[in-house]
Chains A and B, each alone.
Chain A
Amino acid sequence: MTIPKILPRAGRRRGAKVVDANERSIISASDWRRRGTRGTFTVLNGVLLLVLVVFGLGPILWLAKSAITPTQDTLQSPMALFPHGVDWGIIVTAWTEVHIDVQFVNTIWVALGSWIVQIIVATTAGYALSVLKPRYAGILNGLVLATLFVPAVVLLVPLYLVIIHPPLIQTSLINTFWAVWLPAGANAFNILLVKRFFDNLPREVFEAARTEGAGPFRLFWSIVLPMSRPILGVISVFAIIAAYKDYLWPLLVLRDPSVQPLSVRLPTLQKAIELDVYLAALAIATIIPIVFFLVFQRAFLKSAGLGGAIKG
């Protein structure tokens, strides 16, 4: 089967280097050569960098500082730098007392499962609603979007009852990761993103594949999925970060400390442990997603073909 030349812009990102060379933005090379423009933008860039450092990095640096500052100093003069010295022992206490290792493994499981479920639901649903388009697609689409309007907090009790008596399966899902994984799949935002991305894929490709005899499964697996890597990257990051951050729902269904992720365990411990140890534990727990993000940032931002997904 020949690969057609018409690919969505997003798809082009795969040949990253070539694209980069051609890339241009609002300011042209000739604009840039003008002294006034360059000066203005250098200043603007500097200001922007300063703002980003203060607001993006500042809070995290403050947290890092507090992780090695005794409680009394943090409370009495939050902005002072180590008035009574640095106490590295706090970090050690936090690591050993809070069992971050156990909770960290749980966090990975929770994020991984939620991610897989979300990817499966979003891609299959997006494909069915955008490419296969049965007659009732419009109604289903409306039903999916309607879930955005209902505040999640009021669904806690009805949803909890489903988890205790899940349909078909007769056993309660409480204290199993399934209780977090499965509801995570019901994410309308994901389906919205994927469907809009698929909507913008060129129909010619599908027609060509169909004339060559590809069925709906082949079309999905060999054509649509490979073309949707950018949007899958976006959803993956959103899914994993959301799973990492979620608090109230996992608190309800994961009551057993041995299955709780960090986002649940740490706030639960707040009342029982000292503030400096708590801040240190929070600092450790915050570093983890940051490292994750920085490691995957390149892949994520390069492949962020979201423009294709929500354009038009």
Chain B
Amino acid sequence: MTTVETPPIIDLAAASAAASPQRVIVQRTRKRNFGTWVRGGGVSNLVFLLPMLVIFGAFSWYPIVQALVMSFQKTNLVTPAIFVGWDNFARVLHDPNLYVAIQNTGYFALLALIFGYPVPLVAAVLMSEVRRGKGLFSALAYLPVVVPPVVAVLLWKFFYDGRPEGVFNTILGWVGIPPQPWIQNAIEAMPSLVLEATWAAAGGTVIIYLAALTSVPPELYDAAEVDGASIWQKIWHVTLPQLRGVLIITLILQIIGTSQVFLEPFLFTGGGPANATITILLLIYRYAFQNSLGGNYGAATALSVMLALFLAALSLIYFQLTKRWSS
């Protein structure tokens, strides 16, 4: 930590920094020697960070850097890779399926936002008002989360069977609605996937909201009642504002998650019918594994890099925009 001391006067940046007291402190701390670093807790900081640094370093950051490098390479995964500059990116951007996939992913995210986002919130608020058997309600809500995805998809394939004898179509038949094609139709396929995805994920979010609801200070409700607030007014002026921190986090996590939707289109429709449900992640999977058999990993990594950059930018903007409301 001992660094060569730069005379501040000849350094313009340092000179301007000298005007700010904070920067001066930074300058000073840089001068600390090893002994003060240890006494200041440097060693114990490192000890506590070590598990994360090792695990993330080896199993997350390093593979991500590898993938980043591969996005500029052509590789058959056998012989040494060749650097090809921006070729992979160009190839991906020239793929007509990319724009279909972006549209579909956006559509999925939008539908999931409109239908999937409020459902757990409404359910959680209702459940928090249940007087008896709260445990039963939350257990029922959480059950779908516990079902392994392989099981869930198999079940829902039976439910979405397009024949009149299909599970959902049988149920529709009971109330006189004609059989629907569900995932067999370009228009109905995506909403069907959103329905299943909402079913599979809502339970987890419900549990998070339920927990957050219990942390709303009761005094706030008491105060609102003193002002003569109705139930709706209490929800609007007390509950929702108190949940905003959670809501802001779950919203961005949901957007990040739905932008990476893969399992549903992969296992239900394979992107069909007629590309109606092909998503960005499905396209990445096809580049990497399905169509070129490992011969086009570069394109898969290139598209992943572009997606990651987009999501990072989106998140930054989002947190900037929501900063004001979240504190």
B-binding residues in A (CB < 8 A): 9-10, 22-28, 30-31, 37, 41, 44-45, 48-49, 52-53, 55-57, 59-60, 62-63, 74, 76-79, 117, 120-121, 124-125, 127-129, 132, 134-135, 140, 143-151, 153-159, 161-162, 166-167, 182-183, 185-186, 188-189, 191, 215-217, 220, 234, 238, 241, 244-245, 247, 263, 266-267, 279, 282, 285-286, 289-290, 293-294, 297-298, 301, 304-308, 310-312
Asked if residues B231 and A26 are in contact (CB atoms below 8 Å), the reply is: yes
The contact sample of 5 A-B pairs, CB cut-off 8 A, is A76-B165, A151-B281, A241-B145, A286-B151, A312-B327
Count residues of B near A (Cβ-Cβ below 8 Å).
104
Q: Is the CB of B281 within 8 A of A153?
A: yes
Contact of B141 among A56, A149, A167, A286 (CB under 8 A): A56
Please indicate the chain B residues that have their CB under 8 angstroms from the CB of A297 in the complex.
Answer: 135, 138-139, 142
Contact B51 A59 (CB under 8 A): no
CA distance A37 to B70 in the complex (A): 62
Q: Are A155 and B63 in contact (CB under 8 A)?
A: yes
B48→A132 contact, CB < 8 A: yes
A residues less than 8 Å from B142 (CB atoms): 56, 293, 297
Complex: A76 Cα to B186 Cα, angstroms? 25
The 7 closest A-B pairs by CB, nearest first: A307-B215, A158-B63, A125-B52, A306-B211, A56-B140, A158-B66, A128-B48
Contact of A310 with B149 at beta-carbon distance under 8 Å, contacts A186-B55, A304-B207 already known:
no
- A304 B211 Cβ-Cβ under 8 A: yes
- Chain B interface (Cβ < 8 Å from any Cβ of A): 29, 41-42, 44-45, 48-52, 55-56, 58-64, 66-67, 70, 77, 123, 125-130, 135, 137-152, 154-156, 158-159, 161, 165-167, 170-171, 199, 203-204, 207-208, 210-218, 221-222, 225, 231, 234-235, 238-239, 242, 245-246, 249, 253, 256, 260, 262, 281, 284-285, 288, 297, 300-301, 304, 307-309, 311-312, 315, 326-327
Cα distance A266–B217 in the bound complex, in angstroms: 47
Quick check: B141 and A52 within 8 Å, CB to CB?
yes
Q: Which partner residue on chain B sits nearest A154 by CB separation?
A: B304
Contact of B45 among A45, A132, A146, A183 (CB under 8 A): A132
User: What's the Cα separation between A78 and B327 when bound, in Å?
Assistant: 52
B51, B66, B221, B311: the one contacting A28 at CB < 8 Å is B221
A132 lies within 8 A of B148 (CB): no
- Chain B residues with Cβ under 8 A from A217's Cβ? 44
For the complex, what is the distance from the CA of A192 to the CA of B33, rounded to whole Å?
33
Nearest CB to that of A161 among chain B residues? B66
Does more than half of chain B's interface fall in helix, strand or loop, or is it mixed? helix
- Residues of chain B within 8 A (CB-CB) of A166 are 58
Return chain B residues, CB-CB under 8 Å to A121.
Answer: 51-52, 55-56
Known: A59-B152, A151-B260. Is A307-B213 also a contact (CB below 8 A)? yes
Cα A147 to Cα B142 with chains together (Å)? 27
Which of A22, A27, A53, A312 sits near B129, CB closer than 8 Å?
A27
**Provided the pairs A10-B215, A293-B146, A297-B135 are in contact, do residues A28 and B304 lie with their beta carbons within 8 angstroms?**
no
Among residues of A, the one whose C-beta sits closest to the C-beta of B225 is: A28
Cα(A144)–Cα(B59), bound, Å: 12
For residue B254, give the distance in angstroms from its CB to the closest CB of chain A. 12
Shortest CB-to-CB span from A49 to chain B, Å, is 7
**Chain A neighbourhood of B204, CB < 8 A:** 238
Q: Is B70's CB under 8 angstroms from A158's CB?
A: yes
* Closest CB in chain A relative to B153 CB, distance in Å: 10
Contact status A44-B126, CB under 8 Å: yes
Partner of B214 from A124, A140, A148, A307 at Cβ < 8 Å: A307
Residues B48 and A307 in contact, CB atoms below 8 Å apart: no
Give the complex CA separation of A75 and B117 in angstroms: 34
Please determine whether B246 and A24 come into contact, CB atoms closer than 8 angstroms: no
Instruction: Please indicate the chain A residues that have their CB under 8 angstroms from the CB of B210 in the complex.
Output: 301, 304
Instruction: Say whether B150 contacts A149, CB under 8 Å.
Output: no
With beta carbons under 8 angstroms apart, the residue of A154, A157, A294, A305 that contacts B284 is A154
In the complex, besides A78-B158, A158-B62, A307-B215, 20 extra interface pairs with C-beta distance below 8 angstroms are A24-B218, A26-B238, A48-B123, A62-B155, A124-B48, A143-B61, A146-B312, A151-B281, A154-B284, A159-B59, A185-B51, A185-B59, A188-B60, A220-B48, A238-B204, A297-B138, A301-B207, A304-B210, A306-B211, A310-B245
Which of A161, A191, A216, A311 lies in contact with B48, CB distance below 8 A? Answer: A216
Q: Is the CB of A49 within 8 A of B137?
A: yes
Chain A hits for B249, CB < 8 A: 310
Contact across chains for A153 and B215 when beta carbons are under 8 A apart: no
Question: Which A residues touch B161, using CB under 8 A?
Answer: 78
Interchain CB contact under 8 A, A149 and B307: yes
User: Is the CB–CB distance between A125 and B49 below 8 Å?
Assistant: yes
Complex-state Cα separation, A216 to B49, whole angstroms: 12
Is A79 in contact with B288, judged by CB distance below 8 angstroms? no
- Complex Cα–Cα for A109 and B165 (A): 42
Instruction: Report B-chain residues with C-beta under 8 Å of the C-beta of A293.
Output: 139, 142-143, 146
In Å, the complex CA distance between A306 and B312 comes to: 25
Partner of A26, one of B125, B150, B288: B125
